[in-house]
């Protein structure tokens, strides 16, 4: 099964005049708690219930979508997935053989050694890998040697757009499958090249094959525009691209574990058409429903999970408010 993160219409800025769309209505709190499996036969230990208890309002609810946003444009492709639904789907689970997450940079090797954006072309690779390691602990995370898009075999198709060469994401996945290491739970291609999933689509942020255990995602559309840099402190642009890159990476890897787009809270796994379209920014952490899904798959200390991410955010809090918000 392929899972894409961006619909055919997701290419332009938000419309000047929007209207709310009533097809999707945010779920009631009782439904949210039930979706996390905190009642009935799926109820976990009391310690885990305390970590996942949403009755005190600590997690932000979704607002009704506006025209052109993900939950308006893609509602028919975004089914609710409760914890019970997740378990019934028999998601991919790491085992003694396949237990490592591999990141595959799709670029020239020198690009990763260059200074972090905007002095160089990429966000800080060390910080990005650290985020994946802390978020998906206790799984090990490793980086494979960089490979430029042009050297992938079979060679993926490409076309031209405003970002230069735009590559077929589905054919990139075809190229990554033979490169999958034997001990890989999954391999995620990472690129600063633009991607598209089908000829009729404008672009896609990422694409993953759950059964093939490969995915690819692009950061190029997350790079700040020149007008966004006006009046910003030194270090803001680097922190901005890194934040968006972390969110994209962690979201796409979540799909590899079988997590579908979230419809319960304003969650990192929520479907999004991008910051230029969505009126409600989402967070760089999981809601109680999605957190329980991931916890059931790999197991981790939840307070330690959040403490590790907080430590990673703190150096950037003074230059970019997104980190303080998260």
Q: Which domains does the chain have, with CATH numbers?
A: 26-90+264-325 (no CATH), 92-258 (3.40.390.10)
Average pLDDT score over residue span 233-247: 94
Q: Which of 18-22, 66-70, 124-128, 181-185 has the lowest mean pLDDT?
A: 18-22
Q: Which of 75, 134, 135, 106 is nearest to 214 (CA)?
A: 106
Residue 18 burial by Cβ neighbours in a 10 Å radius (0-12, 13-18, 19+): middle
Residue 249's closest CA among 285, 219, 210? 219
Average pLDDT, the chain: 90
Residue 3 pLDDT: 64
144 three-state secondary structure:
coil
Which residues are catalytic, by number? Answer: 252
Beta sheet of 194-196, edge-to-edge order: 158-161, 164-168, 194-196
Cα–Cα distance, 294 to 258 (Å, whole number): 9
- Beta-bridged to residue 187, according to DSSP, are 102, 214
- 125-135 and 236-256 are packed helices; what angle lies between their axes, rounded to 10 degrees? 40
Confidence of residue 127 (pLDDT cuts 50, 70, 90): very high
Confidence of residue 280 (pLDDT cuts 50, 70, 90): very high
Average pLDDT over residues 62-90: 91
**Contact residues for 210 (Cβ-Cβ < 8 A; gap 6+):** 1, 2, 3, 91, 92, 255, 256, 258
pLDDT of 139 reads: 96
Percent of the chain surpassing pLDDT 90: 72
Give the span between the Cα atoms of 26 and 17, in whole angstroms: 22
Give pTM, 2 decimals: 0.91
Contact call for residues 108 and 148 (beta carbons, < 8 A):
yes
The pLDDT score that the predictor gives to residue 225 is 85
Q: What single-letter DSSP state applies at residue 20?
A: B
CB neighbourhood size of 308 (10 A): 17
d(CA 57, CA 166): 42
Beta strands in the chain (DSSP E): 2-4, 100-105, 140-143, 158-161, 164-168, 184-191, 194-196, 206-209, 214-218
Least confident of 207-216, 262-271, 286-295: 207-216
Per-residue pLDDT, averaged over 184-208, amounts to 93
The total of other beta-carbon atoms located within 10 Å of residue 231's CB is 6
pLDDT of residue 173: 96
Band the pLDDT of 180: cuts 50, 70, 90.
Answer: very high
Residue 326 has pLDDT above 50, yes or no: yes
Measured distance CA(45)–CA(47) in Å, rounded: 5
């Amino acid at each position: 099964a392929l899972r894409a993160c961006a619909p055919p219409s997701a290419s332009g800025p938000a419309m000047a005049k929007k209207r709310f769309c009533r097809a999707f209505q945010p779920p009631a709190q009782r439904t949210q708690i039930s979706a996390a499996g905190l009642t009935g036969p799926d109820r976990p230990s009391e310690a885990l219930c305390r970590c996942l208890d949403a009755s005190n309002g600590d997690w932000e609810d979704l607002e009704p979508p506006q025209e052109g946003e993900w939950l308006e444009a893609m509602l028919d492709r975004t089914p609710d997935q409760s914890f019970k639904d997740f378990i019934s789907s028999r998601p991919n689970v790491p085992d003694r053989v396949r237990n490592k997450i591999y990141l595959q940079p799709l670029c020239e090797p020198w690009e990763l050694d260059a200074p972090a954006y905007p002095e160089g072309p990429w966000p800080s690779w060390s910080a990005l890998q650290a985020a994946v390691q802390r978020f998906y602990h206790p799984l090990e995370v490793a980086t494979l040697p960089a490979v430029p898009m042009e050297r992938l075999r079979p060679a993926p198709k490409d076309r031209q757009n405003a970002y230069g060469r735009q590559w077929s994401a589905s054919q990139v996945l075809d190229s990554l499958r033979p490169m999958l290491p034997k001990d890989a739970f999954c391999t995620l291609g990472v690129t600063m090249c633009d991607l598209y999933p089908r000829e009729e689509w404008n672009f896609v942020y990422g694409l993953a094959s759950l059964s093939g255990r490969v995915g690819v995602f692009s950061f190029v559309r997350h790079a700040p525009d020149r007008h966004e840099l006006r009046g910003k402190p030194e270090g803001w642009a680097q922190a901005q691209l890194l934040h968006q890159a972390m969110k994209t990476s962690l979201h796409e890897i979540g799909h590899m574990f079988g997590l579908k787009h979230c419809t319960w809270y304003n969650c990192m796994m929520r479907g999004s058409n991008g910051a230029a379209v969505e009126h409600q920014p989402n967070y760089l952490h999981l809601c109680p429903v999605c957190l329980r899904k991931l916890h059931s798959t790999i197991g981790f200390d939840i307070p330690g999970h959040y403490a590790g991410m907080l430590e990673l955010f703190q150096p950037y809090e003074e230059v970019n408010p997104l980190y303080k918000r998260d």
